[in-house]
């Protein structure tokens, strides 16, 4: 992926030669020369074996980690020149996250967990409540809104996490192995929830090692030893690529 | 402003929803503020009790001791001082060595024993606050007319089997017959005299032959004791006033100030120790809490919480816990002070300003103790936290 993409007005994320190196002896190049873009409303899958660098790529995309080389732009804004505070604001404005673990706060109800994502956006109390309930309706859990995470199943918790991300109304939804901890049936339900509730202008990036899921996605990027390439490549015939964590 | 309100609401939720963590965290502040309030309350109550315990009689009695024999004329000069209400001579016969006593006019009467004898001038009886259970006091006339009379202390009367002075029973003291004119039930000074006999100066002279009074007890008006203590020696012995010693009661104001000062020092030490414990407790539990909440902090950072918002949340939680600890601690302090004061028959006295300020003191401790963990929490990167 050496050819730099032409930034289009439709592109939300644009990466040009982006790399992430972790210092050490020897240094680890978790991501090398990644060059691609993600358009508005596009659904994209990132596949790769365990430790290939796909989660690092997702973290860089979501501003949870910063590239050590290359140029990364979100909505045309160069990320490298932003302060920590500006990056946080950009992250809050543009990205929603669904992780392999739901990361629900155990002392908060489902609705309060969904509202948590709206607090840094300075959304008023009543609007926050409305949006949280709407998001829970979208994922089919409005009847469980007062339940604590400990009172719900793993699949339900993950759907609450999706609702938390949806309620934020992000430009880009980043999902890191969102079904990694779930059984096959629940996985397909959760994935369906994710795809069904995607607003037309929201981009979705899903990191997965499950080729059954990957094959359902319209566009795939494969990561191998930190190098990103377009398409499923050698993984096309595989069932699963093993391991969820890099 | 809405951000601060939202952070406040979140911190309240966090404090309420994690009762065990809140309890552990608040425990130190409860102890600290409780100790602070209790020690302060006890200081105030004890100071009040110290004032109350200054017996009026003790505070208005001055005792003089001369280098040589003092006379009624010396005492009369002392009594003329403004502020002296009563004064009289008191001395022990044979250094309180008991003398043989028998009931009846003869030395071989039915009841024989040995009793100490105290000599007091008639005015001294009033000065020591003697109270009769039977009969009357001897007076100056009786002494001038060399009446052989005696007053029995209640203890001595009981020993001799004399329950009343009715009929003026006679006793024989070292072969001298004395008439019992009264029985003294109590005195506010010289209480040892209740165990023996009290005789006027002439009788003392007859019994022991060593009329050598050197002690004067003076009662003063309230507040005059210190002054009389300074002026009295010159009246009693104008030639050698420095040889006359005066035993004055401690100045209540000075003593109260001394007691307050020592209690205040104790208060300061205990309070600071308590607040230190509270500080360390909140800091330790908050640091542990931050370590346990890494993934929560990571998630918050991922969804858009800035470093400042994370720090503010932790500090507000610590402040909330501090306030809670302050309220509970102050309540316990008030109850403990009331209980201890009541047990010691003191009037509980509390500084209301301090009690009302206690929750804010807890907040201050919480904010200070929560600052370092808050800085640590703010430094946590979302990626590292989510990975953990």
Place of tokens 């009690």: B355
Written as tens digits, the pLDDT of chain A (246 aa) is 444 455 555 789 999 999 999 888 888 889 999 999 999 989 899 998 888 888 899 999 999 888 999 999 998 889 988 888 899 989 988 999 998 888 899 889 999 999 998 988 778 889 999 999 999 998 888 899 999 999 999 889 988 998 999 899 899 999 988 877 677 777 777 777 777 767 778 899 999 888 888 888 889 999 988 999 988 777 666 655 554 443
Interface test with A, best of B4, B12, B299, B313 (most A CBs within 10 A): B299
* B305–A62 CB contact, under 8 Å: no
> Cα distance from A185 to chain B (closest Cα, Å)?
26
Query: Alpha-carbon distance A99 to A118, whole Å?
Result: 17
Position B54 scores a pLDDT of 54
Strands (E), A4-60: 11-22, 28-39, 43-48
Position B47 scores a pLDDT of 67
Position A35 scores a pLDDT of 94
pTM here is 0.62
Place of tokens 């890191």: A176
Residue A119 forms contact with B (CB below 8 Å): yes
Identify the three-state secondary structure at position B254: helix
Place of tokens 């009467």: B109
Query: Alpha-carbon distance A165 to A162, whole Å?
Result: 5
Nearest to B366 by CA among B20, B17, B28: B28
Cβ burial A82-121 (10 Å sphere, 16+ → b, else e)? beeeebbbbbbbbbbbbbbbbbbbebbbbbbbbbbbbbbb
What is the separation of C-alpha A240 from the centre of its chain, rounded to a whole number of angstroms?
20
Tell me the pLDDT tens digit for each residue of A119-158: 887 788 899 999 999 999 988 888 999 999 999 998 899 8
Partners of residue B382 in chain A, C-beta under 8 Å: 64
Residue A67 forms contact with B (CB below 8 Å): no
Residue A103 forms contact with B (CB below 8 Å): yes
> Cα distance from A78 to chain B (closest Cα, Å)?
18
In chain A, which residue's Cα lies nearest the Cα of B305? A120
User: Which residues, including other chains, have CB under 8 Å from residue B157's CB and lie 6 or more apart?
Assistant: B163, B180, B183
Which stretches of chain B sit within 8 Å of chain A by CB?
2-3, 6, 10, 13-14, 17-18, 295-296, 298-309, 381-383, 386
Strands (E), A23-94: 28-39, 43-48, 69-74, 77-78
Nearest to B380 by CA among B302, B315, B283, B275: B302
Place of tokens 């009841």: B111
Helices (H) and strands (E) in chain A, counts: 7, 10
* DSSP code at position A5: P
Which of the listed CATH numbers 3.10.20.30, 3.30.465.10, 3.40.50.300, 2.70.170.10 matches domain A11-102+169-237?
3.40.50.300
- Per-domain residue ranges of chain A: 11-102+169-237
Position B346 scores a pLDDT of 79
Written as tens digits, the pLDDT of chain B (388 aa) is 556 777 777 888 878 878 888 887 788 788 878 887 887 787 777 766 665 555 555 678 888 988 888 888 888 999 999 989 999 998 877 665 778 888 887 767 667 788 888 889 999 998 888 899 889 999 988 888 989 999 999 888 888 888 888 888 889 888 889 999 999 988 887 777 788 889 998 888 888 776 678 889 999 888 888 889 999 999 988 888 888 888 887 766 666 666 667 767 777 787 778 778 878 888 888 888 888 888 888 889 888 898 999 999 999 998 988 899 889 989 998 999 889 888 887 788 888 888 888 889 889 988 998 999 999 999 888 877 677 6
Place of tokens 């840094």: A120
Position A243 scores a pLDDT of 47
Position B57 scores a pLDDT of 54
Partners of residue B309 in chain A, C-beta under 8 Å: 120
Position B388 scores a pLDDT of 62
Instruction: Answer whether B336's CB lies under 8 Å from B34's CB.
Output: yes
Task: Quote the tokens at residue B351.
Answer: 């500084």
Interface test with A, best of B295, B302, B311 (most A CBs within 10 A): B302
Strands (E), chain A: 11-22, 28-39, 43-48, 69-74, 77-78, 95-98, 172-176, 203-208, 219-224, 227-230
Interface test with A, best of B303, B379, B382 (most A CBs within 10 A): B303
Position A245 scores a pLDDT of 42
Cβ burial A182-198 (10 Å sphere, 16+ → b, else e)? beeebbebbbebbeebe
* B383–A65 CB contact, under 8 Å: yes
């Amino acid at each position: 992926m050496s050819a730099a993409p032409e930034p289009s007005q439709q592109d939300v994320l644009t990466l040009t030669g982006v790399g992430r190196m972790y210092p050490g002896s020897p240094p680890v190049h978790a991501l090398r020369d990644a060059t691609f873009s993600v358009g508005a409303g596009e659904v994209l899958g990132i596949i790769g074996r365990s430790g290939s660098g796909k989660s690092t790529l997702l973290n860089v995309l979501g501003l949870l980690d910063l590239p050590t080389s290359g140029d990364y732009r979100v909505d045309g804004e160069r990320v490298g020149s932003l302060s920590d505070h500006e990056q946080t604001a950009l992250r809050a404005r543009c990205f929603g996250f669904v992780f392999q673990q739901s990361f629900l706060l155990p002392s908060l109800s489902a609705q309060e967990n969904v509202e948590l994502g709206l607090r840094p956006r300075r959304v008023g109390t009543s609007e926050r409540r409305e949006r949280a309930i709407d998001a829970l309706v979208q994922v089919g859990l409005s009847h469980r809104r007062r339940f604590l995470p400990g009172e719900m199943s793993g699949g339900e918790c993950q759907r609450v996490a999706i609702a938390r991300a949806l309620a934020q109304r992000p430009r880009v939804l980043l999902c890191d192995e969102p079904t990694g901890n779930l059984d096959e049936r629940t996985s397909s339900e959760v994935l369906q929830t994710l795809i069904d509730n995607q607003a037309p202008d929201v981009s979705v990036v899903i990191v997965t090692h499950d080729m059954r899921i990957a094959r359902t996605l319209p566009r795939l990027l494969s990561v191998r030893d930190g190098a990103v390439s377009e398409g499923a490549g050698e993984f096309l015939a595989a069932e699963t690529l093993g391991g969820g964590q890099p | 402003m809405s951000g601060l309100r939202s952070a406040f609401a979140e911190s309240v939720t966090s404090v309420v929803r994690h009762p065990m963590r809140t309890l552990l965290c608040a425990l130190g502040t409860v102890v600290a503020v409780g100790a602070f309030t209790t020690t302060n309350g006890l200081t105030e109550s004890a100071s009040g009790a110290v004032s109350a315990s200054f017996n009026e009689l003790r505070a208005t009695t001055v005792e003089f001791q001369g280098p040589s024999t003092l006379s009624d004329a010396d005492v009369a000069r002392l009594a003329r001082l403004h502020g002296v209400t009563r004064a009289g001579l008191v001395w022990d016969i044979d250094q309180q060595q008991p003398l043989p006593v028998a009931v009846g006019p003869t030395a071989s009467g039915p009841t024989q024993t040995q009793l100490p004898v105290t000599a007091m001038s008639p005015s001294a009886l009033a000065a020591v606050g003697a109270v009769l259970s039977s009969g009357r006091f001897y007076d100056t006339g009786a002494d001038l007319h060399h009446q052989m009379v005696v007053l029995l202390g209640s203890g001595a009367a009981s020993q001799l089997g004399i329950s009343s002075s009715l009929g003026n029973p006679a006793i024989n003291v070292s072969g001298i017959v004395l008439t019992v004119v009264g029985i003294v039930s109590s005195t506010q000074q010289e209480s040892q005299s209740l165990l023996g006999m009290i005789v006027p100066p002439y009788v003392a002279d007859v019994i022991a032959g060593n009329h050598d009074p050197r002690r004067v007890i003076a009662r003063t008006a309230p507040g005059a004791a210190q002054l009389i203590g300074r002026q009295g020696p010159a009246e009693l012995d104008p030639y050698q006033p420095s040889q006359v010693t005066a035993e004055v009661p401690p100045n209540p104001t000075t003593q109260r100030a001394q007691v307050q000062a020592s209690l205040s020092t104790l208060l300061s030490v205990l309070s600071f120790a308590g607040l230190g414990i509270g500080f360390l407790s909140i800091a330790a539990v908050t640091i542990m809490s931050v370590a346990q909440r890494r993934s929560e902090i990571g998630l918050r950072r991922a969804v858009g919480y800035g470093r400042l918002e994370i720090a503010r949340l932790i500090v507000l939680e610590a402040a909330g816990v501090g306030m809670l600890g302050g309220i509970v601690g102050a309540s316990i302090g008030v109850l403990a002070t009331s209980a201890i004061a009541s047990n010691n028959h003191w009037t509980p006295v509390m500084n209301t300003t301090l009690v009302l300020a206690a929750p804010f003191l807890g907040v201050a401790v919480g904010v200070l103790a929560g600052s370092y963990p808050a800085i640590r929490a703010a430094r946590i990167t979302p990626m590292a936290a989510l990975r953990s």
